[in-house]
Structure 1
Amino acid sequence: MIDARLQVAIDGGALVLPQDGLVAVFNPPAEASLDGIDPSRCHIVQDFKPTFDAWEGRGFEVMHSPSARYAATIVCLPRAKVEARAMVAEACAISDGIVLVDGQKTDGADSILREMRARVSVEGPISKAHGKLFWINAPAADCFADWSAGPALTDGGFWTAPGVFSADGVDLASALLVDALPQKLKGEVADLGAGWGYLAAHVLTREDVTKLYLIEAGHMALACARHNVTDDRAEFYWEDATNWAPPHRMDTVVMNPPFHRGRASEPQIGQAFVASAARILASHGDLWMVANRHLPYEAELKKRFAEVSEIGGDARFKLFHATRPLRPRR
């Protein structure tokens, strides 16, 4: 955790943060405390809706992209290497002073450290709690300009961006679900965890769909979806799909739910998506879902729906159709 490494660096005298000016912190975990940084001059740069809300709830100024020049910047490395490099490049470009980089070894901290050392003088690192904190003491925007990356078109003609799910092209599980969707989808449909809009684009090929709600917690992914899904029937919501409150109950839900936020598998995330689908569907509603074959979703589906069928898949993925959502007894 960044807290432990940052405190060691400050307490040991290796790191001296500026006492004046703004500090931008990219991608800090929701549970981080950032001791040693004055909250009144700290800007949190965050893409993920639940984490954005958590920092805002603690009184920090939170934004999707930095809005000023900064006396110092801190990057908490994401898992995706291209996204990590882009964050470092942006942090260097907007900083008038120190640029800190922190990350777990499992998130590629060692690799980023090696690559930065090949270009500039790097201080530290502070190694603790299976991660590293290191920094450069002077702006180095020109040294990392080639690391900048933003939305781009894939070979299939879809806009994606570094760090969004399946940034390099169409996810195989989503493609499998698209092939299994019935032609007679109709009414109002919700795509939970819509990503950059691949499922949604195919749902809207059905003429009887009157409205499609794209629910996505990643702000950049949703921005890409707006490029990829231009049908007037589409509405976009930057929300956590597990607690989104629709204007009324849906006729259909489609989803390829996430199952991890870090490296480890977290099937409870997908189970929460199943519970959310049951909550927002009308009594006649249908859920169409794809999941990795090893994930334990059957029990949750049967808990939430009166009828559950596995309708196909392959060696890696399984497809489900569930109907008649069950309501909790009052």
Structure 2
Amino acid sequence: MSRRQDPGWRDRAATDLLIGELDRLDSSGRALLMDSPLPDLGIALRDRDVPFTQYHRRALGNLRASSWPAPGPYGLVTLRLPRAKEELSMGLSAAASVLSPGGAVLVYGANDEGIRGAMGTLGETYSSVEALVVGGRCRVLVGTGAKVEAGRRFRLEDWKTLLDLGYPGLPPGWVSYPGVFSHGRLDPGTRLLLDSLPPLPAGGRILDYGCGSGVVGFVVLERGADLALEMLDHDAVALEAARENVPEARFHLRDGLPTENRGSFDAIVSNPPFHRGKAEEPAMIVSLIHRAAPFLAKGGVLVFVAQRRLPLASPLREQFQEVNVLAEDRIFRVWEGRNPKPARRL
């Protein structure tokens, strides 16, 4: 399989490059692995008798996730390069907050993910930075001498952003954090979804799947009557924002639908995730279509937005008796699947 066809090559190549340098590093004390995508790094440290703690911001594969790493100190912190520059800045500050004096942070990622440009961001938080190793279209950067002067943002709440998203009904002071989906703006797909949401049944039970900071769920509650809203996302930081924006909802930190509540939702609404890191994974949306139907009550509805180029009509017709396009523009399409078919399987 070519790299173009293999979405996981960046994780493997960057992780292997980092593992190859472990014996050159001072690994005294505990290590903290931040957002390590593969078990290989932990196995390599265990083989070297280095104690370590894992931190995951996102519950991918339903890993245990949290919004901030556990207190240190740690002699070594590794950080898998995130997609957004501001999320990288927040991650580096989180690492500095738990790093022992003289400790090092290692950032690893692929060239086409922006690892070269991460050197400057690393230098904002660490006084000494360099490329430790380059190879396999990846790099490992190292930072030492964490800048711990007054004013550094060493808590999650220090990174809170208050926004005016400019959509009718959304209040000013909308809470978001770096790395939350569409941080700092209302993305066009979500706007199209909100503009075309159908009326939802009064007193209904609604799930906002992939809720991010809670925009869709908030608008659903504003427009509906006596709705019971549940919100689900795999990003622990996104759920912190959603809890502040929509405190009356019930929240699920999960990668995928909850194991309970089958057949109990009157509607599932979503701007579903479409990427794992840099790679597009349309199968994630197809999986949502197939798995959503068993969680809907009789007469229930799935409403979601996706890129219009994706062929989603067939999987929707497999699961729902009625399939409609509620809206579309040049890039996005809002789909509705109504009345799940009786023979439904996960």
TM-score by length of 2: 0.83
Corresponding position of 2:250: 235
- Contact 2:252–2:258, Cα closer than 8 Å, also in 1: no
Corresponding position of 1:79: 83
How many Å apart are 1:248 and its aligned residue? 4.8
- The two structures, once aligned, show a CA RMSD in angstroms of 2.7
Q: Structure 2 CA distance, aligned partners of 1:36 and 1:140?
A: 29
Corresponding position of 2:21: 9
Q: Structure 2 CA distance, aligned partners of 1:310 and 1:62?
A: 37
Q: Secondary structure at the residue paired with 2:41?
A: coil
Letter in 2 for 1:150: W
- Contact 2:213–2:241, Cα closer than 8 Å, also in 1: yes
Corresponding position of 2:36: 28
Of 179-188 and 210-219, more deviation after overlay is shown by: 179-188
Corresponding position of 1:69: 73
Q: Structure 2 CA distance, aligned partners of 1:122 and 1:62?
A: 28
Pick aligned residue for 1:131 from 129, 134, 138: 138
Q: Deviations over 1:96-151 (max 9, x none)?
A: 21221212212221001244458733244311222111213444444994798622
Q: Secondary structure at the residue paired with 1:109?
A: coil
Whether 2:106 is the aligned partner of 1:100: answer: yes
Letter in 2 for 1:85: S
Pick aligned residue for 2:268 from 240, 244, 253: 253
Q: Structure 2 CA distance, aligned partners of 1:281 and 1:165?
A: 26
Letter in 1 for 2:280: S
Map 1:143-292 to 2 at 5 A. Answer: 145=152, 150-156=159-165, 157=172, 158-186=174-202, 187-231=204-248, 234-242=249-257, 244-246=259-261, 248-292=263-307
- Contact 2:286–2:312, Cα closer than 8 Å, also in 1: yes
Q: Secondary structure at the residue paired with 2:116?
A: helix
Segments of structure 1 that go 5 or more residues without pairing to the other structure are none
- Contact 2:261–2:295, Cα closer than 8 Å, also in 1: yes
CA distance 1:243–1:207, change in 2 (3 Å): closer
Q: Percent identity?
A: 26
Q: Secondary structure at the residue paired with 1:236?
A: strand
Q: Secondary structure at the residue paired with 1:321?
A: strand
- Contact 2:27–2:50, Cα closer than 8 Å, also in 1: no
- Contact 1:3–1:34, Cα closer than 8 Å, also in 2: no
Q: Secondary structure at the residue paired with 1:288?
A: strand
Of 157-166 and 115-124, more deviation after overlay is shown by: 115-124
- Contact 1:93–1:140, Cα closer than 8 Å, also in 2: no
- Contact 1:79–1:107, Cα closer than 8 Å, also in 2: yes
Q: Structure 2 CA distance, aligned partners of 1:207 and 1:264?
A: 36
Letter in 2 for 1:249: S
Map 1:275-314 to 2 at 5 A. Answer: 275-314=290-329
Q: Secondary structure at the residue paired with 1:205?
A: helix
Q: Secondary structure at the residue paired with 1:283?
A: strand
- The aligned length equals 318
